[in-house]
Structure 1
Amino acid sequence: MKNYIIIKKYFLFLVFLPLSCITLLAQEQKVLLAGASMSNITPDLGSGIVGNFGGNPPAQYIHDELHAKTLVLDNGEKRIAFVVVDNISIAREVFDEAKRNIFQETKIAPENILMSTTHTHSSVSGTWTGSRRHWWNEGLPFDKYQLFLIKRITDAVRNAVTNLEPAKIAWGVGSVPQHVYNRRWIMKEKVRSPFGGYEKVKMNPGFNNDNKLKPAGPTDPDVAFISVQSLDGRPISIFANYSTHYAGGVPKNDISADYFSVFADRIQQLIGADRQFPHFVGIMSNGTSGDINTVNYGGVQRRYEPYEKMKVVAEDLAQEVYRVYKDLEYRTWIPLDAIQKEVRLKTRTSTEKQIARAKQVLKRPKDKEYWHVHERSYANRLLRMEAEYPRDINIILQAYRIGDLGVSSLPFEVFAETGLELKKKSPFKTTFTIGLANGSYGYLPPPEQHKLGGYETWIGTSKVQEDATVILVDELVKMFIEIK
């Protein structure tokens, strides 16, 4: 109580103090500081929308704005930042440049900044455009939109640091199982792959497919979240994490942040934070959703109007978070820690037979009937992997400690079973994983899923060695143990 009175006494003067003085106050009084902010990253109309097969249709309408959202925490000993960007995926080089700028402006160490994307499929590419998208582009100049992202991400963190104030924190976990379905199905009879063979798994097999047997893996229904408030109870931010793909239902020429943004707006309404200043910042991060989406192919098909489904998903998530939120117990100081490690992984390689077949496929007339609908596309991807990708790449792993909460990150579209494994092996009471963090290197299937095949395992969609999850889970658990 004594510390609380001291903090309240000086609170009105904090906005006039240098940030170094605010941090000293936190150190001396064992105070947690928190600040949140968001910056608009909506691209120009006419920009190419990415996220689906069949080209990049130009943006003709902005249904809802895209943002970079930030939460900064400082306990006087360590300052950490989360940044979540409304984009399908962003290259590591873009994030690295933003982190360098943030360090220059705020002195937050790059290893203490966790950046990720929501994976909305109605955004503009953050990994270059055209034929360069998703390929090895080290040393390539940033394009116009990437430069804009770097600037606005930096601004979001700078504003969050400016908004730092004495705060209290809590976290919780709810369950929303009705929007997580494994989209990979084991088939009764094997199906064709684009590489000339057969495989056991088909992604999104359809509702009326009699060849379906069962889902190929588990789901994770948890919605975990961090709640931060000022000492007098004013909501500062809710940072949530859920493991399902985008909800979709967006017309092909529309820009939208999908259910991630709708959740943020709805939870703001539910907690009564929609008419406050500084503004509340609701954040939904992408969890381990690489093989999970909102479509129940084992059930009855339902048709949704445009934008309807994302509202349904967001409403259920917001209501569950609000239910747990009402009973949270807050703390005015907690231990904070962060650790980062670069791990070197081998990239996917092809056999001489696969390479020869891919070359033959590309020589055929385009109007010729193919073995598989995506055969030509993946012949091209296979050859580009061989020609352009290095045989080894470095990727970033991060682990955060927030009291008894552990947060890990991976720069991939991570399968739900990997997230569940990390929860099981983590030394923390509560753990969640953020996907597509600090870069984007495609899908990350576990070894047993590689054996089954399916879209997420195809060379070009999956870019790193087939046992990568074994290596990365082991490293993250060690990192958790170190900061615990």
Structure 2
Amino acid sequence: MNTTFFAGAAQVDITPPLGTIINGEFVAFYAHTIHDPLYSKALVLQNEDTTLAIVIVDICAMDRNFIGEVKKEIHEETGIKPDHILIAATHTHYAGSIVDLLGGPCDLAYRKSLGAKIVQSIKSALVRLQPAKIGHVSIDVPEHVVCRRYYMKPGYKALNPVTGGYDIIKTNPAGGEDFIEKRASEPDPELSAVAVMSTSGEWISVLANYSMHYVGDCANGTITADYFGVFSRHIAANLKAGKDFVAMLSNGTSGEANIWDFLQPDRYPKEDHQKKEVIGKDLAAKLSEAIKNIQWQSNSLLSAAFKDVPLGVRKPSVAEVEAAKEIVSQTDYRLITPDQEAMVKIYAREQVLLNEYPDTIEFPVQALKIGEITIGALGGEFFAETGLALKHHISTGKYFTITMANGYIGYIPPAHEIEKGGYETWRCRSSHVKEDGEGIVRNTLYEMVKM
């Protein structure tokens, strides 16, 4: 079989205009400053039989309907099968909003403009296809990722705004540092990547993966690609890559992992944008060094598997809906300030809206194989436990999981973490899958990888 391998990469500027709505927080913000550009970055891989496309977009989240329409257009214009296309968000919280999350509504004008730019990034990558080779590399970089969920000492009250009771776990316990007992789990420290080079020796792309939420070291209303953009800029410089090189950093299983360290709060600079500069630059430096020892493969068989998995929805009871409606009827959400008292009001609105959801949703699970390399893609925010279990089970040493891919369901914690509570588990439109959902998704991906 002829397994000649081709690759091409391209990026398209998707920076929103000033005034665009920004989501990812409890209330809406509006873009007033553009610190660095945002991109849709595409990598296309092709052999005689198969074409795969991977797109990493500098945005907080993209819903299934939006991505489905984009994939349909890509298929119509390029012939690439929708199931062979992976489209994922980096999860920067400083980008244009195309989906309604908590108090941040969708910016319809930006949503309408974004799809065509994602399509263009793939079309431009196709134009650049050339004979290539690919390799996988990984290193552990534990110093930049910490669990943000904590067990607290007796006397601390971790209010759950949905149930009105108290959680076992507190996420990001600002002001409660003296009550911290210990972190609730261990994050995934692995920095993985696939590197792609032309057979003539020119860099085409690096697609990296790290399980750290985002940095968020600037004022709300700022547009920035966060540490994902810093990494991309520095690795391009480190590799001395040409102008057509496209560097991407995807988000791994980081649902409970970030860099807001409440046990060691002074280990990074505190000025705006400086923490992400330190982290992105260091990740790029470490990966650039590791790439020097990469093992290349140039006869890569390509395949893709995609499955919609039905998952049950955690919905409020009739009594909870009625109580939530009473709160909503007395709240002016235009004037709300996201303090502890407001959380009850914000999550009351979530119960009313979540009540309109179906009892079952379809969840996208995807697996791509590139020779010996396997990439899993999941449409939500998963904890490190999920990613580490997948890596252990697949056990090839050449696997990573891209999250917030092909849709966005929200947080999907393991069942035992839902029992403990904490922000990631509070029932709402961005955390509503039933307790067995994580196990169902994980086992589905296990089986798909075996195919």
For the superposition of Structure 1 and Structure 2, which TM-score range results when normalised by the shorter chain?
A: over 0.9
Q: Which residue of 2 aligns with 1:249?
A: 217
Alignment of 1:90-129 (within 5 A): 90-127=62-99
State the shift of 1:304 in Å.
1.3
**Is contact 2:409–2:431 with CA below 8 Å preserved after alignment?**
yes
Indicate whether 1:445 and 2:413 are aligned.
yes
Indicate the SS of the match to 1:210. Answer: helix
Asked if 1:291 is matched to 2:256, the reply is yes
In the alignment, is residue 350 of structure 1 matched against residue 316 of structure 2?
A: yes
1:68-92 deviation line (CA, Å, top 9, x unaligned) = 0001111222211100000000111
| 1:8 equivalent in structure 2 | none
Tell me if the contact between 2:159 and 2:167 (Cα under 8 Å) persists in the aligned partners: yes
Partner of 1:7: none
Tell me, in whole angstroms, the C-alpha distance in 2 between the residues paired with 1:280 and 1:364. Answer: 54
* 2:297 equivalent to 1:331: yes
Matches within 5 A, 1:42-61: 42-56=15-29, 58-61=30-33
Letter in 2 for 1:374: M
- What are structure 2's unaligned runs of at least 5 residues? none
| Distance in 2 (alpha carbons) for counterparts of 1:220 and 1:448 | 18
- Give the CA deviation at 1:316: 1.2
Which residues in structure 2 correspond to 1:67-466 (within 5 Å)? 67-127=39-99, 133=105, 143-189=108-154, 190-194=157-161, 195-206=163-174, 209-273=177-241, 276-277=242-243, 279-302=244-267, 303-362=269-328, 372-386=341-355, 388-426=356-394, 428-460=396-428, 461-466=430-435
Contact 1:247 1:294 in 2 (8 A): yes
**Alpha-carbon distance between aligned partners in 1 of 2:427 and 2:331, rounded to the nearest angstrom:** 23
What's the offset of the Cα at 1:345?
1.1
Letter in 2 for 1:400: L
Identical amino acids, percent of aligned pairs:
36
Following the alignment from structure 2 to structure 1, what is the Cα–Cα distance between the partners of residues 173 and 56?
31
2-structure distance, mates of 1:472, 1:435: 12
- Taking a change above 3 Å as real, the CA distance of residues 146 and 76 of structure 1, as seen in their structure-2 partners, is same
SS at match of 2:266: coil
Given that residues 404 and 429 in structure 1 are in contact (C-alpha distance below 8 angstroms), is that contact kept between their aligned partners in structure 2? no
Matched residues in 2 for 1:89 and 1:245: separation?
13
* 3-state SS in 2 of match to 1:199: coil
Larger Rg: 1
Secondary structure, aligned partner of 2:167: strand
RMSD value, Cα: 2.0
**8 A Cα contact 1:207 1:301, kept in partner:** no
Report the TM-score, using the length of structure 2 for normalisation: 0.93
Per-residue deviation at 1:300?
3.9
Structure 2 partner of 1:137: none
Q: How do residues 457-476 of structure 1 correspond to structure 2 at under 5 angstroms? A: 457-460=425-428, 461-476=430-445
Letter of the structure 1 residue corresponding to residue 62 of structure 2: I
Q: Matches of 2:151 and 2:320 in 1, distance apart? A: 24
Cα deviation, 1:454-484, whole Å, max 9, x if unaligned, reads 11101103121111011000000000001xx
User: What is the rounded CA distance, in whole Å, between the counterparts of 1:186 and 1:420 in structure 2?
Assistant: 21
2:168 aligned counterpart, secondary structure? strand
What is the distance in 2 between the residues matched to 1:291 and 1:406?
A: 24
What SS does structure 1 have at the residue aligned with 2:153? strand
Amino acid of the structure 2 residue aligned with 1:465: K
Deviation at 1:427, TM superposition (A): 5.1
Displacement of 1:191 after TM fit? 2.1
Q: How many residues align?
A: 441
- TM-score normalised by length of structure 1: 0.87
**Residues in 2 aligned to 1:260 and 1:429: alpha-carbon distance in whole angstroms:** 23
- Alignment-derived partner of residue 24 in structure 1: none
CA contact 1:128–1:143 (8 Å) conserved in 2: no
CA shift for structure 1 position 352: 3.7
Letter in 1 for 2:376: S
Superposed displacement of residue 193, structure 1: 1.1
Shift of 1:201: 0.7
Letter in 2 for 1:192: L
Q: Distance in 1 between matches of 2:349 and 2:18?
A: 30
SS in 2 for 1:153: helix
